[in-house]
């Protein structure tokens, strides 16, 4: 059952990545932020019927505050990255998240690193260098780390990766103090409050107008898939180690980013992308 939840989680997040990319063609970045968080608040509020609404310790609240801030910041940066980069470039870069999750899990949840996991880390880093290299020639591969550092999209995604690596660890710790439904409601409520303060201090925010059936369909997908991915991940955290969840989620996301990018966004599947993805997934398999 835990494996089914893991792969379902990976599939849902892959679809959610595609939906967010498509949504940027119709809605503004701020609209997508607000729609995502507000819709999750409403659905999690309804799900409180399944909760005992109990929080067992005041230690929960600092974690909640950090998670809410990180959720808003990382979603904003991720959407910015999707605006300027192809999805088949952005998503493989998220493969760093299991690496950071291993480190954060060791610090916060006391989970250690094996020799194979260290090797996996090095393999994934090499795979990302291949992805951003100008070509597969040795001189370009050696210069790739410098291109990676200078690339704005890569900078945003690496920042998102670090944040998304620590959020599941904090979520898992939070779930020792309350149940899934209460935690989902509390983090979406605080996120909604913080986002409302930020958005309505800006004169550039406007209510989105739904002019076409496609825009309405994307809106529904944004709400339904976003909530489904979030709650499935919380269930997956209850029965799996954080690094394993991140490995499966990212490996699935990388594969589907190529497929979705090709069929829905007309992105090219180059030899360099394929080689990079194969290397990254090999590294992820070692990091499990």
Highest mean pLDDT among 61-75, 89-103, 258-272: 61-75
φ/ψ of residue 54, rounded to 5: -110, 135
pLDDT value of residue 262: 82
What's the Cα-to-Cα distance from 20 to each of 63, 96, 116, 142, rounded to whole Å?
A: 27, 20, 34, 33
pLDDT value of residue 24: 92
Better pLDDT: 98 or 232: 232
- Output the six-digit token pair for 174: 């939070």
- Average pLDDT of the residues in 40-68: 95
pLDDT value of residue 23: 92
Report how far residue 174's alpha carbon sits from residue 68's, in angstroms, rounded to the nearest whole number.
Answer: 12
Report how far residue 241's alpha carbon sits from residue 109's, in angstroms, rounded to the nearest whole number.
Answer: 10
Better pLDDT: 14 or 135: 14
Number of neighbouring beta carbons within 10 Å of residue 30: 18
Interacting residues of 62 by C-beta distance below 8 A, sequence separation 6+:
none
Judge whether residue 165 has pLDDT over 60: yes
The least confident of 83-97, 100-114, 260-274 is 100-114
- Average pLDDT of the residues in 44-65: 94
pTM of the predicted model over 0.95: no
pLDDT value of residue 205: 57
pLDDT value of residue 247: 73
Report how far residue 79's alpha carbon sits from residue 83's, in angstroms, rounded to the nearest whole number.
Answer: 6
Better pLDDT: 117 or 42: 42
Judge whether residue 206 has pLDDT over 70: no
Confidence of residue 112 (pLDDT cuts 50, 70, 90): low
In the 8-state DSSP scheme, what is residue 178?
Answer: S
CB of 31 closer than 8 Å to CB of 208: yes
Compute the mean pLDDT over every residue in the chain, rounded to the nearest whole number. Answer: 82
pLDDT value of residue 139: 63
Judge whether residue 177 has pLDDT over 90: yes
Better pLDDT: 204 or 260: 260
pLDDT by residue (tens digit) across 222-263? 999 999 999 999 998 887 777 677 777 777 777 788 788 888
* Closest to 264 measured CA to CA, from 25, 27, 60, 96: 25
pLDDT value of residue 132: 63
* Closest to 30 measured CA to CA, from 168, 179, 188, 204: 204
- Output the six-digit token pair for 93: 């870069």
- Average pLDDT of the residues in 42-63: 94
């Amino acid at each position: 059952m835990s494996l089914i939840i893991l792969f379902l989680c990976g599939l849902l997040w892959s679809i959610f990545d595609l939906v967010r990319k498509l949504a940027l063609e119709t809605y503004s970045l701020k609209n997508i932020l607000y729609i995502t968080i507000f819709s999750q608040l409403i659905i999690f509020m309804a799900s409180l019927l399944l909760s005992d609404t109990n929080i067992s310790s005041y230690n929960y609240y600092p974690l909640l505050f950090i998670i809410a801030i990180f959720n808003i910041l990382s979603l904003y940066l991720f959407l910015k990255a999707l605006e300027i980069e192809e999805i088949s470039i952005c998503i493989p870069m998220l493969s760093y998240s299991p690496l950071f999750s291993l480190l954060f899990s060791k610090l916060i949840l006391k989970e250690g690193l094996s020799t194979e996991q260290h090797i996996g880390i090095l393999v994934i880093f090499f795979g990302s260098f291949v992805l951003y290299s100008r070509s597969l020639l040795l001189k370009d591969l050696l210069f790739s780390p410098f291109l990676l550092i200078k690339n704005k999209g890569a900078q945003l995604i690496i920042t998102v990766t670090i944040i998304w690596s620590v959020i599941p660890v904090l979520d898992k710790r939070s779930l020792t103090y309350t149940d899934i439904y209460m935690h989902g409601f509390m983090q979406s409520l605080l996120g909604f409050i913080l986002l409302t303060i930020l958005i309505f201090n800006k004169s550039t925010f406007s209510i989105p107008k739904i002019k076409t059936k496609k825009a309405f369909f994307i809106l529904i997908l944004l709400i339904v898939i976003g909530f489904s991915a979030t709650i499935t991940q919380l269930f997956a955290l209850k029965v799996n180690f954080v690094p394993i969840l991140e490995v499966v989620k990212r490996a699935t996301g990388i594969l589907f980013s190529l497929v979705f990018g090709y069929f829905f966004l007309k992105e090219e599947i180059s030899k360099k992308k394929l080689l990079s993805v194969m290397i990254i997934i090999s590294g992820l398999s070692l990091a499990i």
